[in-house]
Amino acid sequence: MSGSILLQSAEIAFEASGAGDTATGAPLMLHGQVDVLVASRIEEVEAIWRQLTPQSIESPGQSYDFIRLWVANRKIAGADQRYVVGLVDGQPVALLPLQRKRVYGLRIFTWFPGANAGCYAPVADNERLAALGPDGRKALWAAMTRKLSGANAIYLRSIPIEVGAHAGLFDELGAPLSVETLYRSQYSSWQECDTLQRSKSRRKHDRQQSDRLEAMGEVTFADLRNGDDTDCAIETMFKQRSARFKAMGIRDTFVQDRLIGFYHDAAKPGSGVDVRLHVLRLNGDIVAVRYNIVHNDRMFCLISSMSDDPAIQNGSPGKQCLLRVMQTVFDEGTRVFDMGSGFTDEKRHWCNVQTPLRQHYLGLTPLGALIVRSHQAFQRARAAIKANPQLKSWTRNARQSLDKISGARRPETDKPADSSK
């Protein structure tokens, strides 16, 4: 880790999970030395990062290759990168990969990809983290976050309450606030999924949709991977998303934040990111796309789209594409299919695992503490608005009006979605 600085070395006492004096039954207080390393270049923590993620991850945001590519594509300055490593007795236990961003004039440490993944979590050895117990984790997180300077607050969005069969591993990391739910499909095979999730009437409904789509012409399904001809599918996907955003009056973050080039880069051979594009075509034309990232036996859907043609939508191309995905991925080795947060029809149909997500906050300055309280109040209000259709509609109309006043650019669906490629 050339260039990293040893910022803290301190002996702490903590109660180990499950440990106790066999004679008295009293909790056994263990002592461990916590060291904290901070780096500003991702390459400096590669070995530790890969050591902490040998098998499953909770999010592409925990993938070294995904974040490395993100940092390079977004051209994030080293001064705004922080990789904070916590070690206990010389062994890496946790890593916080953070970007310093300016939000409304304030400096915040947060996850690199923002809202572009369904959930996040510190990169960690979950078994070691669990063994520290609440006091040990509190001391570890405090030691790590104390060494972050140059910002007002830390904002860690969308952390699952449970990871790696352990609940509460991040309870002591700042002040948590529950606001969302993560939806996943977890099955050993398509047969198990089909048996548990599809009733007789549901199968009939799926057949009817399939018949309507096939009545329009030849329907084909493809699984594209890194190095395949993915450019057309990705461009079509973003054009379809732009049309959808425009119809709903929603800001097109992919275009306005110039993110499309990143998704092209990730799908290139040698990117280090395992991309799977599921593409449904009607008479050779792309009518639905799903953009996924795969890590070992987990698949994460980052973006999905379908044609905005009303005639084609009558055949539900988006649902038909997802049906074909479900029919193939579990028999190919996927065990967990992450569909992200936010309730939708497809998640109601297919997801059998729901995990609460929490935002975690930590003020680093007096102003930061005020920011934390304000943003928590905003998140509670936002959740209430989402749950109320009338408030949701009013808020969307207000946002559209503000966009018009500020001159925010809206994409045209007949133009290339982005020039960053």
The string of pLDDT tens digits covering residues 146-162 is 999 999 999 999 999 99
User: Has residue 388 been placed in a domain?
Assistant: no
145/285 same-domain check? no
19/114 same-domain check? yes
Residues 386-408 have pLDDT tens digits of: 767 776 667 666 666 666 665 55
Average pLDDT value over all residues in the chain: 88
Residues 164-219 have pLDDT tens digits of: 889 999 999 999 999 899 999 999 999 999 999 999 999 999 999 999 999 999 99
Give residue 402's pLDDT.
Answer: 65
Give residue 98's pLDDT.
Answer: 98
Burial label, 253 (beta-carbon count in 10 A; 0-12, 13-18, 19+)? middle
152/256 same-domain check? no
Say if CB 385 and CB 395 are below 8 A apart.
Answer: yes
Which of helix, strand or coil describes residue 19? strand
User: Has residue 299 been placed in a domain?
Assistant: yes
146/226 same-domain check? no
170/262 same-domain check? no
CATH number of the domain enclosing 26: 3.40.630.30
Give residue 31's pLDDT.
Answer: 57
Q: Is the pLDDT of residue 10 over 90?
A: no
User: Has residue 389 been placed in a domain?
Assistant: no
- Would you place residue 29 in the very low, low, confident or very high pLDDT band (cuts 50, 70, 90)? very low
Reference 93, options 59, 61, 49; nearest CA is 49
* Final residue before a domain boundary, out of 317, 334, 351: 334
Give residue 380's pLDDT.
Answer: 78
Give residue 19's pLDDT.
Answer: 46
164/234 same-domain check? no
Average pLDDT over residues 274-297: 98
Give residue 84's pLDDT.
Answer: 97
- Would you place residue 374 in the very low, low, confident or very high pLDDT band (cuts 50, 70, 90)? confident
104/153 same-domain check? yes
CATH number of the domain enclosing 287: 3.40.630
168/220 same-domain check? no
Residues 35-90 have pLDDT tens digits of: 999 999 999 999 999 999 998 899 999 999 999 999 999 999 999 999 999 999 99
Residues 328-347 have pLDDT tens digits of: 999 999 999 999 998 899 99
Give residue 21's pLDDT.
Answer: 45
User: Has residue 199 been placed in a domain?
Assistant: yes
- Would you place residue 16 in the very low, low, confident or very high pLDDT band (cuts 50, 70, 90)? low
User: Has residue 416 been placed in a domain?
Assistant: no
Give residue 137's pLDDT.
Answer: 94
Q: Please name the amino acid found at residue 184.
A: R
Which of helix, strand or coil describes residue 332? helix
- Half-sphere exposure (CA, 13 Å, Cβ side) for 59? 29
User: Has residue 253 been placed in a domain?
Assistant: yes
166/232 same-domain check? no
293/204 same-domain check? yes
Q: What share of the chain is helix, strand, coil (3-state, %, to 5)?
A: 40, 30, 30
Q: Measure the CA–CA gap between 12 and 137, rounded to whole angstroms.
A: 11
Q: Is the pLDDT of residue 34 over 70?
A: yes
Q: Which of 103-107, 231-235, 293-297 has the lowest mean pLDDT?
A: 103-107
140/211 same-domain check? no
User: Has residue 400 been placed in a domain?
Assistant: no
What is the separation, in whole angstroms, between the first and last Cα of the chain?
32
Q: Which domain holds residue 127?
A: 5-177+360-383
Give residue 389's pLDDT.
Answer: 73
46/25 same-domain check? yes
- In degrees and rounded to multiples of 5, residue 209 shows phi and psi of -65, -40
Domain tally for the chain? 2
What six digits make up the tokens of 86? 């916590």
Give residue 409's pLDDT.
Answer: 45
What six digits make up the tokens of 389? 């259709």
User: Has residue 346 been placed in a domain?
Assistant: no
pTM (two decimals) = 0.86
Residues 109-126 have pLDDT tens digits of: 999 998 898 889 999 999
Q: Is the pLDDT of residue 23 over 70?
A: no
